[in-house]
Amino acid sequence: MRARSTASGLALALIAAACGGGGAGGVGDNTPQGEEITAAPSDAQASLFVFGATYETGDEIAKTRVDRFQELYPSVDVEFSESGFEEQPFLSALASGDPPDVVNIPRNQLGTFIARGVLDPLDSCLEAEGIDMGVFYESAVEQVTVEGVAYAVPEFFNSRLWMINTKAFEDAGLNPDEFDFSDWDAIADANEKLTKGGNRPTRLGIDPKLPEFLPLWAVANGTPVISDDGMESQLDDPAVAEALEFANSLHEPAGGRTSFLDFRDTWDFFGAKNQFAQDQLAAMPMEQWYLTVLAEASPDVDLTVRPFETRDGEPITWADGNSWAIPAESQDKAAACAFIRAMTEKDAWLAAAEARAQTAKKENQPNTGVYTGNREADEEIFANLDLGEWPWLEEAVQVVRDVQEHAWSLPPSPASAQFENAYKAAGDEVMNQGTDAEQVLTQADERVQREIDRAAR
Amino acid sequence: MSANTGLTNQQREFRWAMVFMSPWIVGFLVFMAGPMLWSLWLSFTDYDPLRANTAFVGLDNYRELLVDPEVRTSLWNTVFFTVFYVPGTIASGLALALLLQRVGRAVGFFRTAFYLPNITPAVAVGALFLLLLNGRDGLVNQALRAIGLPGPSWLNDPAWIKPGVILMMLWSVGSTVIIYLAALQNVPRDLYEAAEVDGAGAWHKFRYITLPMISGAIFFTLIINTIASLQLFTEVYAMFFGGQESGAAGQAALFYVIYLFRNAFEFFAMGYASALAWVLFVVIGIITVIQVKTSKRWVYYEGD
């Protein structure tokens, strides 16, 4: 009965949202696109509603930068949604005619909103505030740029790398520092050796992290899942199917995907008894933020970090992160633009990194730094990092820093949510039903291409 | 007839009845009927709330429904769930109500205990059952292993995900139990006494007295549980789609309203989502009509 009332509420919300949009008109209706921003916010009292970000419940990285903005612009009253970005409340805010002034949005989702005219191009903002997009990582800038126009400013920069249980590798006679991750046969052999317990595993060899990491396996196999402009699905490329089949085969030594996942679900992923500390996993590709988790939860874990590699032996990472954008209907674009600059400029990041360092020192934990989208900020942050007490972390951070220049990112697609759903659903079908990967991915490609074409109209 | 107003008492009562009903009527028209009709219109458009233009697309959304593999998957998952959950909840609800009827003074405690899951937030239920149903160390499988049964992978094996969801939803059988318990307590004692005089055993009393006398309550729970099953959303969304990676469950746990929600609020395909909503509305309507028609053969009303 609760499900009934919930679903009824959902149906009503759907209908109400539909009514709010007005049918023939939408949020982008008659909105001035790319309104000229000519000056920083004046001293007059202004208010700024920031969506998709937290302050009261945020960490020192968020608070330090916001406090700095408030010092620079004391007349601007800033209010936060105090939650991460969610499509539904964002849609409700837009449809109800109460749009936020600035929004923190995952770069992977930007394309959907750019294609619909929800976000302002930032040309005049960048010019007015003197924001140099050249200081940000190239792949991050590509994620926020459509046809040469930037629609957002990158915030963080998440890279994916191999995280390796050093002892497990060494016990299996493998050298984690020299293991050839470009050789997929070698990965498969190592996986057999590293898996313990067979059908009821007590240690997984290699977790391919499917279907979420399919884009990384595909790009390592030579073909990104989508074209550089985000307009052509490439899921039907045989290289993508080959990548999916190979990565899926890594579940087999543990008795297949079901027993693999059943065991994985028991891990204390964020705790002191995590899978590396407990020797429950030998290796997995993972976002670099997990190093910070390990540094706090089990700083003495014996971990080796290596870059993901293409089959040609080149380092590669799949990078993403958040970004700051200005909705077309923002009420105070000058203040929004100043806020974006204050959240992403070098000095703001240095202050935030210093605050993080102080927190880590106070809690007697290693400080793994802050991985920003701003290359210049990162250079200073990581030049001053002291991890001598934790040599594995020091090496790991250097690997992360090196691989950042070899990043590939999902380009902005007008149907980004549908595209993510398409490759995950196809991956699920192949893994769960044993269906031919090429056939499933070809069908998924046809369907999602229709969605992209429709969204781009 | 009143000499003052020229209205009969009946007319005057009707007028006052309308006055008192008008808040509900206005609410119904503004918040239910109007939006429903509007969503019917939207189902014939390509409405995207973030776009300036909306085009009339005729039956395109409904045609797409017919060939969309995820509609087929989500419908199959939903029908499977309904077919097993509804009889399951009626049978277990009735069994528990019959047991409760015999516990005497402790009935109040058990009634509260059984009802507690219904006031637990649905998202919390989903999170709780992620732990209980874990294929390796979950409490459910530990219990099964204790009696020598191999516990399945409730959360990761596509063949067991829907049975796992049914198990989770049966945990909230309390509201059905309360309805049956009330119905059972209303069955006249003298009917049982008369049957006992005629030598009827426990089974015959249950079959020929209890069941017919509570058939109205059973019919009511059949209707509402069927509708609730076809609209299953919150618990499953929290378990398998609420932020964490989809894992194996993606397609096996894709219920119809979840797919509708994703189209509306993740893909912004509101026109298509409206068509999905209307198909569900029609399906629920047809099933309910069939249930009402067939009920005449087995539901006993005291006034009949």
| Interchain CB distance below 8 Å, A261 and B153 | yes
Q: In terms of domains, do A175 and A285 share one?
A: yes
Q: Which of B36, B52, B248 sits opposite A431 (nearest CB)?
A: B248
Looking at residue A5, what is its pLDDT? 39
| Interchain CB distance below 8 Å, A87 and B265 | yes
Q: In terms of domains, do A122 and A219 share one?
A: no
Binding-face residues of B in 99-118 toward A, CB within 8 A: 118
Percentage of residues in chain B with pLDDT exceeding 70?
95
Q: In terms of domains, do A172 and A133 share one?
A: no
Looking at residue B5, what is its pLDDT? 64
Q: pLDDT confidence of B248, banded at 50, 70, 90?
A: low
**Domain-embedded: residue B58:** no
> Comparing C-alpha atoms, which of A420, A440, A434 is closest to residue A251?
A434
Q: pLDDT confidence of A105, banded at 50, 70, 90?
A: very high
Looking at residue B51, what is its pLDDT? 84
Size of the A and B interface in Cβ pairs below 8 Å: 178
Q: A197 and chain B: CB distance < 8 Å anywhere?
A: no
Quick check: B276 and B260 in contact, CB under 8 A? yes
A201 neighbourhood in chain B, CB within 8 Å: none
A164 pairs with which residues across the strands? A283, A304
Q: In terms of domains, do A153 and A166 share one?
A: no
Helices B215-230, B270-295: axis angle to 10 degrees equals 160
Percentage of residues in chain A with pLDDT exceeding 70?
90
Q: Does residue A300 carry a pLDDT above 90?
A: no
B252 neighbourhood in chain A, CB within 8 Å: 432
Please report, for residues A53, A73, A158, A229, B136, the alpha-carbon distance to residue A323 in angstroms, rounded to integers and kept in the order given.
11, 21, 12, 19, 39
Q: In terms of domains, do A302 and A209 share one?
A: yes
Q: Does residue A2 carry a pLDDT above 50?
A: no
Q: B78 and chain A: CB distance < 8 Å anywhere?
A: no
Looking at residue A7, what is its pLDDT? 40
- Which three-class secondary structure string do you get for A358-383? HHHHHCCCCCCCCCECEHHHHHHHHH
Q: Which domain holds residue A188?
A: 160-318+409-455
- pLDDT mean over B244-252: 62
| Interchain CB distance below 8 Å, B267 and A429 | no
The tens digit of pLDDT for each residue in B3-24 reads 556 778 888 999 999 999 999 9
A426 neighbourhood in chain B, CB within 8 Å: none
**Domain-embedded: residue B54:** no
Looking at residue A386, what is its pLDDT? 86
Please report, for residues A51, A114, B48, B270, the alpha-carbon distance to residue A28 in angstroms, rounded to integers and kept in the order given.
18, 11, 11, 16
Q: pLDDT confidence of A365, banded at 50, 70, 90?
A: confident
- pLDDT mean over A304-317: 97
Q: In terms of domains, do B10 and B77 share one?
A: no
Q: In terms of domains, do B290 and B196 share one?
A: yes
**Domain-embedded: residue A444:** yes
Measured between its terminal Cα atoms, the distance across chain A in Å is 41
Q: Which of A8, A263, A421 sits opposite B136 (nearest CB)?
A: A263
Helices A437-455, A416-433: axis angle to 10 degrees equals 170
Q: In terms of domains, do A97 and A242 share one?
A: no
Q: B274 and chain A: CB distance < 8 Å anywhere?
A: yes
Q: A91 and chain B: CB distance < 8 Å anywhere?
A: yes
Tell me the CATH number at A91: 3.40.190.10
Q: In terms of domains, do B278 and B145 share one?
A: yes
**Domain-embedded: residue B48:** no
Provide the shortest C-alpha distance from residue A425 to chain B (in Å). Answer: 7
**Domain-embedded: residue A46:** yes
Looking at residue B163, what is its pLDDT? 96
Q: pLDDT confidence of A363, banded at 50, 70, 90?
A: confident
Looking at residue A457, what is its pLDDT? 76
Q: B96 and chain A: CB distance < 8 Å anywhere?
A: no
Q: Does residue A59 carry a pLDDT above 80?
A: yes
B270 neighbourhood in chain A, CB within 8 Å: 14, 17-18, 21
Q: A456 and chain B: CB distance < 8 Å anywhere?
A: no
Provide the shortest C-alpha distance from residue B35 to chain A (in Å). Answer: 5
**Domain-embedded: residue B57:** no
Quick check: A115 and A451 in contact, CB under 8 A? no
Q: Which of B49, B158, B245 sits opposite A17 (nearest CB)?
A: B49
Q: In terms of domains, do B114 and B28 share one?
A: no
**Domain-embedded: residue A365:** no
Looking at residue B104, what is its pLDDT? 79
Provide the shortest C-alpha distance from residue B275 to chain A (in Å). Answer: 12
Q: In terms of domains, do A59 and A185 share one?
A: no
A87 neighbourhood in chain B, CB within 8 Å: 265-266, 268
Q: B45 and chain A: CB distance < 8 Å anywhere?
A: yes
Q: Which of A10, A262, A443 sits opposite B136 (nearest CB)?
A: A262
The span from the CA of A356 to the CA of A317, in Å, is: 25
Total domains, chain B: 2
Looking at residue B60, what is its pLDDT? 96
**Domain-embedded: residue A29:** no
Q: In terms of domains, do B112 and B253 share one?
A: yes
**Domain-embedded: residue B129:** yes
Q: In terms of domains, do A214 and A313 share one?
A: yes
DSSP string, B61-128: HHHHHHH-HHHHHHHHHHHHHHHHHHHHHHHHHHHHHHHHHTSGGGHHHHHHHHHHHHHS-HHHHHHH
Q: pLDDT confidence of A1, banded at 50, 70, 90?
A: very low
Total domains, chain A: 2
Q: Does residue B52 carry a pLDDT above 90?
A: no
Provide the shortest C-alpha distance from residue B226 to chain A (in Å). Answer: 10
Q: In terms of domains, do B20 and B85 share one?
A: no
List the single residue in B with minimal CA-CA distance to A29. B52
Q: Which domain holds residue B287?
A: 68-295
Quick check: A332 and A344 in contact, CB under 8 A? no
A118 neighbourhood in chain B, CB within 8 Å: 50
Q: Which two tokens stand for residue A215?
A: 């884009």
Q: In terms of domains, do A95 and A43 share one?
A: yes
Looking at residue B241, what is its pLDDT? 85
**Domain-embedded: residue B199:** yes
Q: Which of B36, B69, B262 sits opposite A15 (nearest CB)?
A: B36
The span from the CA of A450 to the CA of A427, in Å, is: 19
Q: In terms of domains, do A290 and A182 share one?
A: yes
Looking at residue A13, what is its pLDDT? 40
**Domain-embedded: residue A170:** yes
- pLDDT mean over A86-101: 89
Q: In terms of domains, do A58 and A196 share one?
A: no
List the single residue in B with minimal CA-CA distance to A30. B52
Q: In terms of domains, do B22 and B98 share one?
A: no
Q: Does residue A22 carry a pLDDT above 50?
A: no
B38 neighbourhood in chain A, CB within 8 Å: 15, 18-19, 23
- pLDDT mean over A299-323: 96
Tell me the CATH number at B76: 1.10.3720.10
**Domain-embedded: residue A400:** no
Whether the ipTM is more than 0.90: the answer is no
**Domain-embedded: residue A392:** no
Lowest mean pLDDT among A6-10, A26-30, B273-277: A26-30
| Interchain CB distance below 8 Å, B270 and A21 | yes
**Domain-embedded: residue B55:** no
Looking at residue B8, what is its pLDDT? 87
Q: Does residue B257 carry a pLDDT above 90?
A: yes
**Domain-embedded: residue A177:** yes
A7 neighbourhood in chain B, CB within 8 Å: 228, 231-233, 257
Binding-face residues of A in 388-417 toward B, CB within 8 A: 415, 417
**Domain-embedded: residue B300:** no
B229 neighbourhood in chain A, CB within 8 Å: 3
The tens digit of pLDDT for each residue in B115-127 reads 999 999 999 999 8
Q: B50 and chain A: CB distance < 8 Å anywhere?
A: yes
A257 neighbourhood in chain B, CB within 8 Å: 156, 248
Looking at residue A37, what is its pLDDT? 67
Looking at residue A289, what is its pLDDT? 94
Q: In terms of domains, do B26 and B148 share one?
A: no
Percentage of residues in chain A with pLDDT exceeding 90?
79
The tens digit of pLDDT for each residue in B55-110 reads 999 999 999 999 998 999 999 999 999 999 999 999 999 999 999 988 878 888 88
Q: In terms of domains, do A284 and A178 share one?
A: yes
Percentage of residues in chain B with pLDDT exceeding 90?
76
Q: In terms of domains, do B233 and B95 share one?
A: yes
Give the Cβ contact number of residue A124 at 10 Å. 17
Q: Provide CB contacts within 8 A for A100, sequence distance 6+.
A: A49, A50, A51, A52, A81, A90, A93, A327, A330
Q: In terms of domains, do B15 and B152 share one?
A: no
B248 neighbourhood in chain A, CB within 8 Å: 257-258, 261, 428, 431-432
